[in-house]
Amino acid sequence: MAGKKREIQLQAVINNQSLWDEMLQNKGLTVIDVYQAWCGPCKAMQTLFRKLKTELNEDEILHFVVAEANSIATLQPFRDNCEPIFLFSVYHEITFVDSDTEDAGEAFNENVDQLYSIAIIKPEAVITGKTIKIKEKIISAGFVIQAEDKRVLTENQVRDFYSQIADEPDFEDFVTLMTTGISYILVVSQDNKQEPPCEETVSNPENKEPKETSEDQHEMATPTVMRKKWDSLQEYLERQNISQFCDVEENTTNVNKFIDIFFPDFKSISKLEKTLALLRPDLFQEKKEDVFNIIQDEGFKILMQREIVLSEEEAKTLCKEYENEDYFGNLIENMTSGPSLALVLLRENGLQHWKELIGPSTVEEAKERLLESLCIQFATKSFPINQLYGSDSLEAAEMEIQYFFPPQNTLALIKPHATHEQREEIFSIIKEAGFDITQMKEILLTKEQADKIYFKITNKDFYKDVLEILSEGPSVVMILTKWNAVSEWRRLMGPTDPEEAKLLSPDSIRAKFGITVLKNCVHGSSNIQEAMETINRIFEEFVPENSEEH
């Protein structure tokens, strides 16, 4: 009798439409064993259900029922079926919030608290080139990096974020360490589209041979997959032995506070994406301006562009999808006959929008379904293919951009007389110009350190005046990374004399913030060799993040 009682408690009996409708209001997941009156419920599964019920202990969100098909109108399609049938009902109560009420903002913030964590990758990890590997591990574990930024943390920011360890004896040294180098700040969430790691379990834990089922039992294999709960980000980093390089804040109140501090526009950030675009030689020579006008009208920003004559190998790689066509040989000859134009485009959902805009890879396919595409608009008589190219995925875009626009490092310096507000504005100008601040530190330059940066002019008479300017306070020394970084940074700085800069390059940094030739706000390397020598001297422990790829 006791065994029979447990079975009744495990699976509720649904034998009419009214009970069925009531059952559908169960919160959470309801597992329904649909049975025929002449056969009965599946007894082979009851052991597994009882095991799940015991292990999960979630009475309010996990339910098991048996339902007779002949007595419930909804189950009419399943009547007279001799195979085991299991249905699943999921009910989730949704609360709608009126955006005009005072509680709307609080409801949004509560949702943010549940979803996001703040992670800080420390300067020691950044300077030794561990950032990419840490981010890759975070992503591979099913987390999503929703936003990221690189900056030198202020003393107040460090004290605030690490307030829980403020009483430790070496805390002041820690604050100094955290404020003298660049850190990565990440907003991280769990990927709701990806399930947590799983382990396969078998409902027959004693590994006994399965018994023959009786006539009133359905034959059914009982292996199942049990999913673990998600690790928190902190737990995952600890298991990967990288928590010493990355600190995490997951406290509900603090997460919101630090998002507001580090990412004040986070709630309205668009999903900006980069993609590689390429104009084939014929289109580039004949209708480049028309394409540029469309790019601008569609809201894209051109981050980088360059003319490039493709090698035969490069052309074959880009045109691989046409390799079985009769015209493939002539196409490769055309692709290598003159310059193509490679572009890096940025826009909200940029990759998908560009692919939709240019259309299919062949004119024939475009005529069938996308007559308004650029493939049709810019079709040529020479080849029946799309004269425009776009990356197929974000991963492909990143690789293709790296290939066609190989990153270059240059050394940049913001001089002591620049105010804090001017520094922040210069950082914004740098980022808007497409530079990546790969490394940064704030230091009071000694003569020995200044000699490493200005080694070409140490024997000049005016060098003592340079040293005097640099001794007035701390300078910000940076490694800036971008394709053609040396010349691009020199263009962004403008002429050495601020007065000349105001005439020749009024939007340059020196035109905006420079005072005199010596107090012209910023400095940069003159060529790539000088840049590499200076970087190696100032950032001796620096490991380029792209060292493996290049």
Looking at the structure, tell me whether residues 353 and 417 fall in a common domain. no
Cα 215 to Cα 38: distance, rounded to the nearest angstrom: 11
Is residue 415 annotated as involved in ligand binding?
yes
Is residue 239 annotated as involved in ligand binding?
no
Query: Per residue in 263-274, pLDDT tens?
Result: 887 765 557 789
pLDDT at 92: 55
Looking at the structure, tell me whether residues 262 and 281 fall in a common domain. no
Looking at the structure, tell me whether residues 349 and 360 fall in a common domain. yes
Does any domain span residue 205?
no
Extract the runs of DSSP E, i.e. beta strands, from 310-362: 340-348
In this structure, what CATH number is given to the domain that contains residue 149?
3.30.70.141
Out of 83-87, 192-196, 434-438, 522-526, pick the least confident.
Answer: 192-196
Q: What are phi and psi of 249, to 5 degrees?
A: -115, 120
Query: Per residue in 312-350, pLDDT tens?
Result: 999 999 898 898 988 899 999 999 999 999 999 998 889
Out of 190-199, 203-212, 232-241, 294-303, pick the least confident.
Answer: 203-212
In the set 218, 353, 523, 550, the catalytic residue is: 523
Does any domain span residue 354?
yes
Looking at the structure, tell me whether residues 386 and 520 fall in a common domain. no
Mean pLDDT across 525-539: 91
Residues 185, 187, 193, 196, Cα dihedral to 10°? 70
Does any domain span residue 392?
yes
Cα 171 to Cα 158: distance, rounded to the nearest angstrom: 10
Looking at the structure, tell me whether residues 263 and 129 fall in a common domain. yes
**pTM of this structure:** 0.59
Is residue 496 annotated as involved in ligand binding?
yes
pLDDT level of residue 255 (50, 70, 90 thresholds): confident
Does any domain span residue 366?
yes
Is residue 288 annotated as involved in ligand binding?
no
Looking at the structure, tell me whether residues 379 and 431 fall in a common domain. no
pLDDT level of residue 250 (50, 70, 90 thresholds): confident
pLDDT level of residue 508 (50, 70, 90 thresholds): very high
Is residue 462 annotated as involved in ligand binding?
yes
Looking at the structure, tell me whether residues 79 and 151 fall in a common domain. no
Is residue 306 annotated as involved in ligand binding?
no
Looking at the structure, tell me whether residues 396 and 295 fall in a common domain. yes
pLDDT at 203: 39
Looking at the structure, tell me whether residues 419 and 503 fall in a common domain. yes
pLDDT higher at 179 or 8: 179
* Domain of 446, in residue numbers: 408-538
Query: Per residue in 343-361, pLDDT tens?
Result: 999 988 899 999 999 999 8
pLDDT at 307: 93
Work out how many domains the chain is built from and give that number: 4
Looking at the structure, tell me whether residues 516 and 448 fall in a common domain. yes
pLDDT > 90 fraction of the chain, expressed in percent and rounded: 39
- Take residue 276 and report the two structure tokens written for it: 């590689």
Supply the mean pLDDT for the chain: 81
Looking at the structure, tell me whether residues 492 and 526 fall in a common domain. yes
Active site residue 523: yes
Looking at the structure, tell me whether residues 428 and 514 fall in a common domain. yes
